[in-house]
Chains A and B, each alone.
Chain A
Amino acid sequence: MTQPIIQLSGLDKFYGNFQALSQVDLDIKTGEFFSLLGPSGCGKTTLLRSIAGFETPSAGSLYIDGQSMDGVPANKRPTNMVFQSYAIFPHMSVAENVAYGLKARKLPKAEIKTRVTDAIAMVGLQGFGERASHGLSGGQRQRVALARALVLKPRVLLLDEPLSALDKKLREQMQSELRQLQRAVGITFVLVTHDQEEALTMSDRIAVMFDGTIAQVATPQDLYGQPCSRRVANFIGMMNFLDAKILSTSGETVDVDVQSFGKLTLPLGQATGGLEGCDAVGVRPEMLTILTGSQTAEREIEAVVSEVFYYGDMTYYDVRLPFKEESVTITMRNTAGRSILGVGEKARVGWSASSLLLLK
């Protein structure tokens, strides 16, 4: 295996008495699209800025491309950043903005010119070079920021919530463009976002952060399918939780007593974050089904519909299971011939033991 492009270990960051990062260990692979995902204030920006060189970690080590970044200032690091505000120089044209870093490197004029033209074309801004940078739309500003950073061919491109200022439609378009751009240039991208959908659709791997610590690092599928804790599961998509008590473990299986579902034997693999401290099972809403007519499932349970949310292609049901206070959400695709249940109706809910996760 090749060496990771970024290696963080034991990183701490204090602002006065406040600990913004604690014991962050992270390896980011060369050429991957990596996302830092977490709620606002969890330390994503602090971590990104530590990699860029704008914050000095209080403890721990940071290697980029095998080189220690201790004491290396931001202008000497092989990283470039797309700022949340884009930070486009207002007194310069689009081309001057893109040329900024090349001029700082004192490259020959002719080379600067061709590289700037190429970079502007790469982000789809052909013909905008001479435009003044004020008066550009949000999407265009972001493209300028991307071109300005990518023209320097950094080893790592750092992006701090680059899409959060855009409206929904443009955001979705830029998501796929960013992904394509990353594949085309082959540069490692580290993206900060608080939007789980954005992280899931764009990334090769995701680190989920809470309160200055990394909770889980995984591919989007693993993160969704095998979250390591209730908190992660709740942050990535929707998850129903049922109280559970571990009765005994034997070799590769564990016996649990689950609220409403009763006593079960689950493979140890379904305790994704380890057995210790597990007190609930989680099940995704789409893993439960409302059975109609003669349909049967591996296991069934009687429930009462307490709320119905109709979305056209989907229906979200809140149902009451026996022995459980809070309702459980089930999402059903509205296929042909399937009737929508009403509030108060009885429902047969189908589930399987293999879709349950033991969580702490």
Chain B
Amino acid sequence: MTWFQKWRRGEGAQGLFLISPTLAFTLLLLAVPLVMVIVLSFWTQDYLTLHRTFSLENYRTAWTEPMYQYLMARSLKISMLVTAMTVLLAYPVAYFISFRVSPKRKAMWIFLITIPFWTSYLMRIFLWKVILGYNGVVNGSLMGLGVIEQPLSFILYNQNAVVLTLAHAWVPFAILPIFVALERVDRSLIEAAEDLGDTKWRRFLRVTLPLSMPGVIAATIIVFIPTIGDYVTPRLVGGPNGLMIANMIELQFKKANDAPLGAALAISAMIIVTCVALIFIWLNKKYIREAK
């Protein structure tokens, strides 16, 4: 038997064959573009001509120019707000399904939570525009009731609208990991806490919440990472003050004709997201280790 035949029968090779379609896909659609973006970020562009000499100029601009710093900070702030809001909204729902719904009905409730996904994300954003708009549902009702005389303007085309729309979109994704973590909390531990004298609220704080933290952290990561790079939502409901870093990256690639700067901005955003994610993963590990 040649080494190749031996290798082909090994576990490693079989694993490789099994993941090979995914692997090819990932390489083609993720790794290759990523490498291209990284390379691009070290080049410079002058209107239409691309200078292929190594330069850190784009990164200098990305990290020092106040506008980019400001946009980056705003993106971080918005996605942190979205994450906080999402997790706060998701936890009670997950808790309700795990603790209050009878075991037979749980699957149905989880299914109900996926209903928003039946319509496209774009549709849901437009719906929010209808709800929050100048002549929208909220303003219309409030004016009709005589609560306000002028339509409220702080509810659409600003950061609040971005936070609200994104949080609504991501809540289902946050519910699932929290639900799974809550399902894994041994119910006899909660009874033990009650037996030892804790009230309902105290035993939630001392037992249920700490033991469900891995789910909360997972939900945080799941929501935080994609929202920081979102550009559809800010474009449609954010108005001029609601734009985020991804909108700027788009601008650089298209209208501004400075793809290398756009690439450098994208890579910078990625580095920041990675750092934040690593902190969460570290936190998660700590919890998982303690919770074992």
Contact = CB atoms under 8 A, between A and B. Distances in A.
Nearest to A160: B188
A81 B199 contact: no
Interface of B: 186, 188-189, 191-199, 202, 206-207, 210-211, 290-292
Contacts of A87: 186, 188-189, 191-192
Contacts of B192: 81, 83, 87, 89
- Counting contact residues on chain A (CB < 8 A from B), the size range is 20 to 34
Contacts of A85: 186, 188
A54 B187 CA distance: 12
A152 interface: yes
Contacts of A100: 193, 196, 198, 206
Nearest to A74: B194
Given A85-B188, A104-B202, A90 B193 contact: no
18 contacts: A73-B194, A75-B194, A75-B195, A75-B199, A81-B195, A83-B191, A83-B192, A84-B188, A85-B186, A87-B189, A90-B290, A90-B291, A100-B196, A104-B193, A105-B197, A134-B292, A148-B196, A149-B195
A91 B202 contact: no
Interface string A221-248: 0000000000000000000000000000
Main secondary structure of the interface of B (DSSP, over half): helix
Given A74-B191, A81-B192, A89-B189, A104 B211 contact: no
B291 A91 contact: yes
A318 B186 CA distance: 49
Given A74-B191, A85-B186, A104-B202, A91 B196 contact: no
Contacts of B207: 89
Contacts of B189: 87, 89-90
A151 to B, nearest CB: 9
Given A104-B197, A134-B292, A148-B196, 4 more contacts: A75-B197, A75-B198, A79-B195, A87-B186
Contacts of A84: 188
A167 B198 CA distance: 33
Interface of A: 52, 54, 73-75, 79-81, 83-85, 87, 89-91, 100-101, 104-105, 132, 134, 148-149, 152
B195 A74 contact: yes
A105 B197 CA distance: 7
A148 B199 CA distance: 17
Contacts of B291: 90-91
Contacts of B206: 100
A101 B210 contact: no
A101 B196 contact: yes
A73 B200 CA distance: 11
A90 B211 contact: yes
B212 to A, nearest CB: 11
A80 B196 contact: yes
Contact of B210 (A54, A74, A91, A152): A91
A74 B290 CA distance: 28
B64 to A, nearest CB: 44
Nearest to A101: B196
Given A91-B291, A134-B292, A104 B210 contact: no
A273 B108 CA distance: 54
B189 to A, nearest CB: 5
A105 B196 CA distance: 9
A104 B291 CA distance: 21
Question: Which of B192, B206, B210, B211 counts the most chain A CB atoms within 10 A?
Answer: B192
A83 B202 CA distance: 20
Contacts of A81: 191-192, 195
B251 to A, nearest CB: 47
Contacts of A105: 197
Contacts of B290: 90-91, 132
